[in-house]
Amino acid sequence: MLTGKKGIVTGGGRGIGRETALVMARNGADLIVCSRNESELNETAKLSEGGGFAGSIEPFVCDISNEEDVKRIASHAGERFGSVDILVNNAGMFSSGKMESLETEKMRKAIEVNCIGMFVTCREIFPLMKEKGGSIINVSSLSGVRGVEKFPGFGPYIISKFGVIGLTEALAVEWKNYGIRVNAIAPGAVETEMLRAAAPDLEPVLSPKQVADTILFLASPASSGLNGSTIDIFSSLLKEPRE
């Protein structure tokens, strides 16, 4: 499905990012996978060394909230691949706090990582994608979709994930003439370490693999008719209670 495609996956050390990198590599993509945690990245790469992988995973330590780090990964991708076909913007952080007492810095950090870091990554990868076109997939959240009831106290996360939807729609319009499709996914509660730490009482109904399969679809030619779309991902299947 992705044979010969070159891509970058951010936040690929665990959870959704790791599963996305693995499913894309199984389907033939050669990837640079980044996160801040080197040991988690190396584990992701090690998992791809077994049988059944038509593509490859190269770990690259990068903090997307650091503009110089993003420029380094873009430069490395240009040297290694020449051009980039797929960009999955999955890296992000959770932040919470009641709005009436929320520190400004906490709000600023959530927007800096979840929204501005994603914008900078798209901007820096654009020169590597504009000649041949490609697919950008931005990971938002059901928290960032209008009309979905929000959990109280998740304000910084909610606001930053709304920003991801706006970024997706703006880039989809501006870059469509280059053959670049920009779409977003908005998953509900996913079984990840980040969610367990942020909301231990919330029972996830999605696995990282379910989300990764949707990202694979958006990265592939099968989704060629989609641009500027947000796909909401949720499951009506109830899982057994977590012990």
Domain that holds residue 86: 6-233
CA pair distance 177, 174, nearest whole angstrom: 7
Q: Is residue 240 assigned to a domain?
A: no
pTM: 0.91
Tokens of 40: 């988690």
Average pLDDT over residues 131-143: 94
| First CA to last CA distance, the chain | 38
Q: Is residue 88 assigned to a domain?
A: yes
The number of folded domains in the chain is 1
Q: Is residue 86 assigned to a domain?
A: yes
Instruction: Determine contact, residues 60/76, Cβ cutoff 8 Å.
Output: yes
CATH number of the CATH domain containing 211: 3.40.50.720
Tokens of 209: 């693999």
CA pair distance 205, 189, nearest whole angstrom: 6
For helices 117-129 and 67-81, angle between their N-to-C axes, nearest 10 degrees:
20
Task: Say which DSSP state 151 is in.
Answer: P
Predicted local distance difference test score (pLDDT) of residue 234: 79
User: For the segment 199-235, what is each residue's pLDDT rounded down to a tens digit?
Assistant: 566 665 678 888 999 999 999 999 999 999 999 987 6
Catalogue the E-assigned strands of the chain.
6-10, 30-35, 56-61, 86-89, 134-139, 180-187, 230-233
Q: Is residue 228 assigned to a domain?
A: yes
User: For the segment 4-43, what is each residue's pLDDT rounded down to a tens digit?
Assistant: 999 999 999 999 999 999 999 999 999 999 999 999 999 9
Q: Is residue 55 assigned to a domain?
A: yes
CA pair distance 79, 19, nearest whole angstrom: 26
Token pair 């690929």: residue: 12
Residue type, 131: E
Rg (CA), the chain: 17
Residue positions counted in the chain:
243
Residue with the bigger pLDDT between 45 and 197: it is 45
Q: Is residue 66 assigned to a domain?
A: yes
Average pLDDT over residues 44-49: 92
Q: Is residue 16 assigned to a domain?
A: yes
Q: Is residue 243 assigned to a domain?
A: no
When pLDDT is cut at 50, 70 and 90, the band that residue 154 belongs to is confident
Residue 39 CB contacts under 8 Å (≥ 6 apart), including other chains:
none
Active site residues: 157
